Amino acid sequence: MISILGGLLMIIGSIFTYNGKISHAIWTYFIADIAWIYNAVLLGDIVGGFVITVAMLLGIGTYYKMSTGKLNKNLNKEEDV
């Protein structure tokens, strides 16, 4: 059941991304990651839970850099000059 919830949250997050609501998408992905970690630990897959946790922490770091303006990428189609 938790896998279905995580998958549905990933679909909702991709819809937010497609519509340009990046902050909503990131928080939805974050909640989906928590569901996936819970599922991995519940099934005894400690390595899978660790990998998901590391990926989630990297995503949080990227979100922080993006929200503070320290990320050297632009989400718009325009070229950075």
pLDDT of residue 11: 92
The pairs formed by 42-48 with CB atoms below 8 angstroms and a separation of 24 or more are: 42/2
Per domain, the residue ranges of the chain are 2-67
For residue 61, which phi and psi values (nearest 5 degrees)?
-65, -40
Distance of alpha carbon 26 from alpha carbon 13, whole angstroms: 7
Distance of alpha carbon 13 from alpha carbon 27, whole angstroms: 8
pLDDT of residue 66: 76
pLDDT tens across 51-79, in order? 988 988 888 888 788 777 776 666 565 65
pLDDT tens across 26-37, in order? 889 889 988 988
Residue 15 predicted with pLDDT over 90: yes
How many secondary structure helices (H) and strands (E) does the chain include? 3, 0
Q: Are 53 and 30 in contact (CB under 8 A)?
A: no
pTM: 0.70
